[in-house]
Chain A
Amino acid sequence: MTKKLALAAAALSILGLSAMPAAAEGTLKLAYVDPLSGGGASIGQIGLNQLRFIAERINAKGGVNGEKLEVVPFDNEVNPQKSLVQVQKAIDQGIRIIIQGNGSSVAVAIEDFLRKYNERNPDKNVIHLNYAAIDPILTNEKCSYWHFAWDAAVNIKLEALTNYLKGQKDLKKVYLIDQDYSFGHSVADTAVKMLKEKRPDVQIVGNEFHPLVKVTDFSPYVAKIKASGADTVITGNWGQDLALLIKAAADAGLKVKWYTFYAGGAGGPTAVKQAGLADQVFQITEGINNIDYKPAQETIRAYMEAYPKEPVYYPRLFNLTGMLFEAIEEAKSDDPAKFAPKLEGMKYKTFSSGDEGFMRADDHQFFQPLYISTLEPVDTKTEFDEENTGWGWKEVAQVPVKDTITETTCKMKRPK
């Protein structure tokens, strides 16, 4: 029996399963836990490409604190349980920085897991850097010292959007349509609340929820929007739920303004272009490629030389890594326990425009200028298109940092 087990053990270790050797001296490993197979893989792959691009550039300049960067990808299939396994795997390999973005469910699971893990292993802390999950509970009810968020949370985006809409006088009737799950509901609830505060004159003529990724035919929903007489639709829909909605609307000849969270997400630009809705679909993000800011433009060009198919998708990954490396260099240590305090309150010139943002210490949320932009065929002013459609994002307005600040209910528990 023991002999067999020993054999099995040998076989397993050949396959790289039992305890991995600790990280080689002089490298700083970053675990990238995101979907790399299955439905969400394209998004995960884009993020990974960007992260690798950043790491190569840093390494070419000598690394961080003299350490070379290595990005280690872990495929989580946007599944919370699989993510925890992958985080465990990363920790086993001696990695202590987890970069993750897609899926609030995953982010919450990792945040919870690391909170408990760090409590149970106080001498070996692991940090969670979140570049895309924007459910407000991440930085409110569930906020954790070991979690930092770089994308603006739902309530922050809506704060910015409604502040922008304050000045839009042609806005009279708003229709809300969202996916029937927690994110969709938090978009709808927050939007209703903020619109009532800031534009009491605006009528909310519909507040619709539809099942998540289950609807093939949106024409009945479009018929309802049409019947309501809305001039503006606000939606948190993403992926096919957005693409199908927009296409159905264009098919039915619905003429409204679309304020979206994720028109820039995978498949969004393709759908908008197919629907022919130039200058009608807006998104709110922390940056777009077509902002006239030299350092960003140069980086994007260099990036697109390495990865010709896609433009920079996540400006926030540049912010995240930039701040992370600054913190590590300031702390002269890659131990999260040492560099996390440096991140708290850090001010940083954002990638897209060079305007300053800051990491709020109260809830570890990064505040930055946000941009309202619209999709239209590229022209002389706009250099980069999206998804090879020949259409690109054009800035409509910048919402300054001060107009994005929201309160937090977070009571941060800091380690002693």
Chain B
Amino acid sequence: MFEIVFISTLNGILYGMLLFLMASGLTVIFSMMGVLNFAHAGFYMLGAFFGFEISRRVGFWPGLVIAPLLVGLIGMAVERYGLRRVHRHGHVAELLFTFGLTYVIQQAVEMVWGKLPVDYEVPRSLDFPAFTVFGTEYPAFKMFELLISVAIFLVLLLVIKRTRIGLVVQAALSHPGMVAMLGHNVDRVFMLVFGVGVALAAVAGVIAGPALVTQSNMAGLLGPILFVVVVVGGLGSLGGAFIASLLIGLLQTFAVASNASLADLFGSSASAGALQTYLSDIWNVTVAQVAPILPYLLLVLILIFRPRGLMGTRET
């Protein structure tokens, strides 16, 4: 019992930190610009594929630096020539724009790299088990992933709380109008913030690419969960995103570890009826089976009962 709890906790934290790595950029963008970047997972995927291309030419480590830079540049261009233009049509138009962008990124990646997974390998220097608990090995690369996530969290906190640009970002969170009046070039700040935000997604991509599968559907796989994280955490709250990432990571791993079903809870349903066959589906489903849809349930519940999210500062 303790073994499964311990392992599940560890797995949950590892998965949660990967989620946070992606959610951090999304949160930064939303908190500054009020834009929920639907295409965020797309940039994450771009990061993974750029990382793959660079790593097979010059190695993993240069990729970790160059790929996010490239993606950040693309992001800045998208903001400058696309998002800024639709900004005046309001948030719905912005959301639709980034929604369209997910299609385009997805298709462009498929066009260039095809739909099959590419052979993106863990760097040699990290390809060994870091430690073993209860006979389960934990690869060094996963520990590296964890380290990077925590580091990014701390750096972002520092930047936001301690630096000038961070103060501008924070000010924009509560008084969007004031920042412009104070003479900051809001346009340039927006462009930069969007670039940095998607570059963070790309970092996640470069790291997750070898650990998971680098394939053209990786964006679609993680995208929806990402929104769950930022909405549950509270749109625009970095701390909230951090907590929500962990929460969702743990929720999923513990749910998977459980084999309980309604049938176990109440004994197998003996009541006969026309609905019996339909109900039997629900009745016999285990918690583990529904684990990956639990986050969506959580999302709906949070939005009903605590629309600001766990740590949000304003209603969505």
Touch between A and B in complex, CB under 8 Å? yes
Chain A interface residues toward B at CB < 8 A: 38-42, 180, 208-211, 213-217, 219-224, 226-227, 240, 243-244, 247, 251-254, 266-267, 270-271, 273-274, 387-389
Q: How far is the CB of B68 from chain A (nearest CB, A)?
A: 20
- Is B221 a contact partner of A39 (Cβ separation < 8 A)? no
In the bound complex, what is the Cα–Cα distance between A216 and B209 (angstroms)? 11
Q: Given known contacts A220-B8, A224-B256, is B139 in contact with A42 (CB within 8 Å)?
A: no
Q: Given known contacts A210-B292, A267-B215, is B253 in contact with A240 (CB within 8 Å)?
A: no
- Is A223 a contact partner of B222 (Cβ separation < 8 A)? no
Q: Given known contacts A217-B11, A240-B213, A253-B137, is B119 in contact with A270 (CB within 8 Å)?
A: yes
Can you list, as one digit per residue, whether each of B192-235 has a CB less than 8 Å from chain A (1) or not (0)? Answer: 00000000000000000001110111000110010000000000
**Chain B residues whose C-beta falls within 8 Å of the C-beta of A227 in the assembled complex:** 3-4
**Chain B residues whose C-beta falls within 8 Å of the C-beta of A243 in the assembled complex:** 117, 213
- Is B213 a contact partner of A253 (Cβ separation < 8 A)? no
Q: List 11 A-B contacts (CB under 8 A).
A: A41-B110, A42-B115, A210-B288, A217-B252, A219-B253, A222-B136, A240-B213, A253-B136, A270-B116, A270-B117, A270-B119
- B29 proximal to A (CB < 8 A): no
- B273 proximal to A (CB < 8 A): no
The residue in chain A whose Cβ has the minimal distance to the Cβ of B129 is A253
**Chain B residues whose C-beta falls within 8 Å of the C-beta of A216 in the assembled complex:** 15, 18, 212, 221-222, 225
**Chain A residues whose C-beta falls within 8 Å of the C-beta of B7 in the assembled complex:** 223
Q: Using A209-B288, A220-B11, A227-B4 as known contacts, list a sample of 17 further A-B pairs with CB atoms less than 8 Å apart, ordered by residue number in A.
A: A39-B115, A42-B116, A209-B289, A217-B212, A220-B291, A223-B7, A223-B8, A224-B4, A226-B136, A240-B213, A244-B212, A247-B213, A252-B137, A266-B115, A270-B117, A271-B213, A273-B119
The residue in chain A whose Cβ has the minimal distance to the Cβ of B216 is A39
**Centre residue among A41, A220, A388 by max chain B CB count within 10 A:** A220
In the bound complex, what is the Cα–Cα distance between A211 and B7 (angstroms)? 21
**Chain B residues whose C-beta falls within 8 Å of the C-beta of A226 in the assembled complex:** 135-136
Q: Please count the residue pairs between chain A and chain B whose beta carbons lie under 8 angstroms apart in the complex.
A: 119
- Is A267 a contact partner of B129 (Cβ separation < 8 A)? no
Q: Given known contacts A251-B137, A274-B121, is B292 in contact with A223 (CB within 8 Å)?
A: no
Interface of B is mostly: helix
Q: How far is the CB of B278 from chain A (nearest CB, A)?
A: 16
Q: Given known contacts A244-B213, A247-B212, A266-B116, is B137 in contact with A180 (CB within 8 Å)?
A: no
In the bound complex, what is the Cα–Cα distance between A243 and B135 (angstroms)? 22
- Is A223 a contact partner of B4 (Cβ separation < 8 A)? yes
**Chain B residues whose C-beta falls within 8 Å of the C-beta of A40 in the assembled complex:** 115
Q: Give the size of the chain B interface in residues (CB under 8 angstroms).
A: 47
**Chain A residues whose C-beta falls within 8 Å of the C-beta of B213 in the assembled complex:** 240, 243-244, 247, 267, 271
The residue in chain A whose Cβ has the minimal distance to the Cβ of B119 is A270
- B59 proximal to A (CB < 8 A): no
- Is B139 a contact partner of A221 (Cβ separation < 8 A)? no
The residue in chain B whose Cβ has the minimal distance to the Cβ of A222 is B136
**Chain A residues whose C-beta falls within 8 Å of the C-beta of B4 in the assembled complex:** 223-224, 227
- Is B116 a contact partner of A267 (Cβ separation < 8 A)? yes
**Chain B residues whose C-beta falls within 8 Å of the C-beta of A39 in the assembled complex:** 115, 216-217
In the bound complex, what is the Cα–Cα distance between A227 and B11 (angstroms)? 14
Interface set, chain B 5-59, CB cutoff 8 A to A: 7-8, 11-12, 14-15, 18
Q: How far is the CB of A8 from chain B (nearest CB, A)?
A: 28
Those 5 A-B pairs whose CB atoms lie nearest each other, nearest first: A253-B137, A220-B256, A267-B117, A42-B115, A220-B253
The residue in chain A whose Cβ has the minimal distance to the Cβ of B118 is A270
**Chain B residues whose C-beta falls within 8 Å of the C-beta of A271 in the assembled complex:** 117, 213
- Is B117 a contact partner of A253 (Cβ separation < 8 A)? no
In the bound complex, what is the Cα–Cα distance between A221 and B288 (angstroms)? 9
- B114 proximal to A (CB < 8 A): yes
In the bound complex, what is the Cα–Cα distance between A368 and B129 (angstroms)? 43
Q: How far is the CB of B205 from chain A (nearest CB, A)?
A: 13
Q: How far is the CB of A111 from chain B (nearest CB, A)?
A: 24
In the bound complex, what is the Cα–Cα distance between A215 and B137 (angstroms)? 21
In the bound complex, what is the Cα–Cα distance between A152 and B256 (angstroms)? 32
In the bound complex, what is the Cα–Cα distance between A247 and B208 (angstroms)? 13
- Is B14 a contact partner of A219 (Cβ separation < 8 A)? yes
